[in-house]
Amino acid sequence: MAKKKAPEDGAKKLSNPNVMGLRPEVLEQPITETLEVNYMPYAMSVIVSRAIPEIDGFKPSHRKLLYTMYQMHLLGGSRTKSANVVGQTMKLNPHGDAAIYDTMVRLSRGYGALLHPLVDSKGNFGKVYSRDMAWAASRYTEVRLDPICTELFRDIDQDTVDFVDNYDGSMQEPTLLPTTFPNVLVSANQGIAVGMASNLCGFNLGEVCDVTAAYLKNPQVNLMEYLKAPDFSTGGELLYDEGALRQIYDTGRGSFQVRARWRYFKGENLIEVYEIPYTTTVEAIMDKVAELIKGGKIREITDMRDETDLNGLKITIDLKRGTDPDKLMAKLFKSTTLQDACSCNFNILIAGMPRVMGVREILEEWSAWRMDGVRRRTYHVMKKKQEKLHLLKGLKKILLDIDRAIQIIRETDEDAEVVPNLMIGFGIDQLQAEYVADIKLRNINKEYILKRIEEVAGLEEEIADLQDIVNNPGRIKKIIIGELGAVKKKYALPRRTEIVYDYQPAGPQEEEDETPDYPVHVFCSREGYFKKITPQSLRMSSEQKYKEGDGPFLQWEGSNRDELLVFTDRQQCYKTRLSDFEDAKASVLGDFLPTKLGMEPGEGFVWACLTADYSGSLLFFFENGKAARVELSAYQTQTRRKKLTGAYSDKSPLAAALHLAEDLELAVTSTEGRCLVFHTAALTPKTTRATQGVHVMTLKPKWRVADARPLAQATIVNAARYRVRSLPVAGMLLKEEDRGEQQLTLLE
């Protein structure tokens, strides 16, 4: 049988025959080709035509909407239904009406996202500081262009910008809007493209006009002298960090901190937050505060309400008696978005290419673009005046013999011959002849013609002046500076975001422990029932209640802030704080530690210890006769972990455990009935939690260590009999008087 030929490189057939016939051919495509052919055009479309703003400060969706409204004569006119504008915009923007209306909402005065709203709105447009406040449908709201839009469309009909066909070629739209001020720095803008994003914060209009004028006069000007800091429509306080702002001004990337503004009403014992950072919402703040209260991290707040009304944003916080409002707000600033970082990424399309630029580069690009726009406008006006001058020069030639012009027109038989005959008779061109032929009969008098001719000298002077402007960049800069001054005078508003200059960036600090500190008595039973009881409660009733078959095991006196380390039979240590347990009474069973600490199924409680500062050591005695001394600091963690694995060695079952604050003598007994007494100084402390330890008691195969406890707590009468000088030893058999009535062990 002939072998099948191996498929060639490139496209491969993946079809296999089956009973029903051959499957359709499927061609493989290399992933690089898929990205290049299918994905790259989409990515470039999103970057260039959707998400990244251009030098005029607008994305295409913004520009199409505003130009449509301009064409609808909504600049200076009365408002119209938003739905009407949305429908008209679809002639330029092929996206759905919902997307267009969302764009309009963000530009509106009612929504409040921009320092200088571009859409004068009437109706419910939601609020930028609210996540859940929905705006009304487009059929219920009305809009028109805000007066500041005059500066966006000034001289748009004088060839200041290029026009292109819309998506179906039925009409034309501007590629950019000829803004007379750097709107790209004034209007906040965000966009997420493919593989890149843009995040432009807003600046105060007056400061932007000042810094642009200063830059046009001196490109090396210190920008921070004029452009103090970003400004936001939601206000707040900007924590001034010169280094961070300089980085943003130089590179276009960086971040700075903005925090809420608040006031305290002493008589009512409440706080009102009335301005929040631009990057957050009321709902996000309240959700986070509720989470902190539920987690017990904030205990000073009794109630928190959103009282936002027609007068503006207001979050009211009711305080417990004796609460320091400054300390509480400092804690909220640290734990919630009442203080938030505002990130900057000044990514702008320049000639169709995205570029991340600092403020100086943006001013350079805007100035060059605006100078070209003013030059084009001036040239357009100059060409119009030159055309008029040309016509008037033709009229001047006819002035010498008006009667002859009339005679030529009267004696011409055909209308089409009038213009050629005038051209021949007076030596003028077709345009001039057309102008003369169209003069009304009543205007064929010397007075009218002389007045027209008197304009020639003035036009020649104006044209010469305009030509000088076109050729002189210095004069163009002066025109732009004058326009910036006029914009500032007419539209500039005071800063909304206050700058806090005396703020010093705080370094990493330990979180203040707000846990109440008071003495407690702690009890733990053999089965792991745990109780924390205050001294006052214990004085009222000291008789402890235990489950049937259970009994007392461990007892401590400590503070509510102490930490509890619970060891299990799977060599794990669970860490918690006494403050995590509710104060109990002696008459209750208490919390079952395996349930309270979330132990694994089948995992059992073995032993526990209490510590305030992780000083001292832990002694682990194993049934095989070994003992391990581990520094308690080995269980301390920086991240407040709740569970540590490998808490002690798993080579032999645990017989006993002790917490040593200082060295002392211990009595160790075995199931054979032997005992030895030694000083703990003989054991070297280890830092490894799972160390196997060293041999302390030598045992015969069938015996094991039964117990280990301080000599002072043992029942031994004659300790000298059992005291040893070196380890390991087998120990001496316990005498009857040293056994005591009851020998409690860890395993009983």
pLDDT digit string (tens) for 728-737?
999 999 888 8
Q: Quick one: 325 and 411 in the same domain? A: no
Instruction: For residue 602, tell me if it sits in a domain.
Output: yes
Rounded Cα distance, 653 and 510, in Å: 39
Q: What pLDDT was estimated at residue 439? A: 80
**Which of 602, 600, 577, 461 is CA-nearest to residue 520?**
577
**pLDDT tens digits for 94-145?**
888 999 999 999 999 999 999 999 999 999 999 999 999 999 999 999 999 9
HSE at residue 289, side-chain half, CA atoms within 13 A, is 26
In this predicted structure, the answer to whether residue 683 has a pLDDT above a threshold of 80 is yes
pLDDT of residue 511: 52
Highest mean pLDDT among 12-26, 56-70, 418-432, 454-468: 56-70
Same domain, 316 and 383: no
Of residues 738 and 316, more confidently modeled: 316
Q: Do 483 and 420 have their domain in common?
A: yes
For 245, list phi and psi in degrees, rounded to 5.
-65, -40
Any idea which residue has 């509480």 for tokens? 328
Domain presence at residue 29: no
Report H helices in 472-534. 473-491
Q: Are residues 571 and 688 in the same domain?
A: yes
Return the C-alpha torsion angle 482, 225, 240, 288, nearest 10: 20
What pairing do the DSSP bridges indicate for beta strands 498-500 and 237-239? Answer: parallel
b/e burial code for range 390-423 (CB count within 10 A of at least 16 → b)? ebbbbbbbbeeeeeebeebbeebeeeeebbebbb
Q: Higher-confidence residue: 579 or 629?
A: 629
Mean pLDDT throughout 6-20?
A: 45
**Domain final residue, candidates 156, 178, 200:** 178
Residue 140 domain flag: yes
Which two structure tokens, joined as six digits, stand for 529? Answer: 């029932």
- The span from the CA of 386 to the CA of 695, in Å, is 111
E strands in 107-233: 119-122, 142-145, 163-165, 172-174, 189-192, 197-200
Residue 14 confidence (pLDDT): 43
Residues 6+ apart with CB under 8 A from 53: 59, 62, 184, 189, 191, 198, 200, 348, 349
**In the chain, what percentage of residues exceed pLDDT 90?**
62
Q: Domain holding 598: CATH number?
A: 2.120.10.90
Q: Are residues 64 and 161 in the same domain?
A: yes
Residues 322 and 400 in one domain: no
Same domain, 566 and 687: yes
The mean per-residue pLDDT over the stretch 502-506 comes to 60
What pLDDT band is residue 445 in, cutting at 50, 70 and 90? confident
In the structure, what pLDDT confidence band is assigned to residue 504 with cuts at 50, 70 and 90? low
Q: Are residues 555 and 653 in the same domain?
A: yes
Q: What is the mean pLDDT of residues 242-259?
A: 94
Question: pTM score > 0.75 for this model?
Answer: no
CA–CA distance, 205 with 185 (Å, rounded to integer): 8
The answer to whether residue 246 sits within a structural domain is no
CATH of the domain at 113: 3.90.199.10
Residue 529 annotated to the active site: no
Please give the average per-residue pLDDT across 21-27, as a whole number: 64
Residue 87: φ, ψ to 5°? -65, -45
Q: How many domains does the chain have?
A: 4
695 in the same domain as 549: yes
364: in domain: no
**3-class state of residue 114 by DSSP:** coil
User: Residue 705's closest CA among 647, 630, 620?
Assistant: 620
Is the CB of residue 481 less than 8 Å from the CB of residue 370? no
Say if 37 falls within a structural domain. Answer: no
The one catalytic residue among 140, 167, 501, 518: 140
Structural domain containing residue 412: 369-491
> Looking at 442, 471, 491, which one is the last position of a domain?
491
ω into 508 cis (within 30 of 0): no
Tens-place pLDDT, residues 366-403: 999 999 999 999 999 999 999 989 888 887 888 777 88
Average pLDDT, the chain: 88
In a domain? residue 503: no
pLDDT at 150 over 60: yes
Give the residue from 178, 202, 219 where a domain finishes.
178
For residue 69, is pLDDT > 90?
yes
What phi, psi does 539 have (nearest 5°)? -65, -30
- 685-723 pLDDT per residue, tens: 888 999 999 999 999 889 999 999 998 888 888 888 999
Whether residues 597 and 717 share a domain: the answer is: yes
User: Region 288-317: what's the mean pLDDT?
Assistant: 90
Q: Do 143 and 72 meet the contact criterion of CB atoms below 8 Å apart?
A: no
Q: Is the pLDDT of residue 310 over 90?
A: no
Burial of 387 (0-12, 13-18, 19+ CB in 10 A): exposed
271 in the same domain as 328: yes
Pairwise CA distance, residues 555 & 522, whole Å: 6
Q: Does residue 9 carry a pLDDT above 90? A: no
Higher pLDDT, 289 or 50: 289
- In angstroms, the CA 108 to CA 116 distance is 9
pLDDT at 6 over 50: no
Q: Which pLDDT value is given to residue 11? A: 43
**Does residue 512 fall inside a structural domain?**
no
Band (23; pLDDT cuts 50, 70, 90): low
Judge if 559 and 438 occupy the same domain.
Answer: no
Least confident residue range of 40-44, 500-504, 690-694, 740-744: 740-744
Q: How large is the average pLDDT for residues 526-554?
A: 89
What region does 539 belong to: left with phi over 0, alpha with psi -120 to 50, or beta? alpha
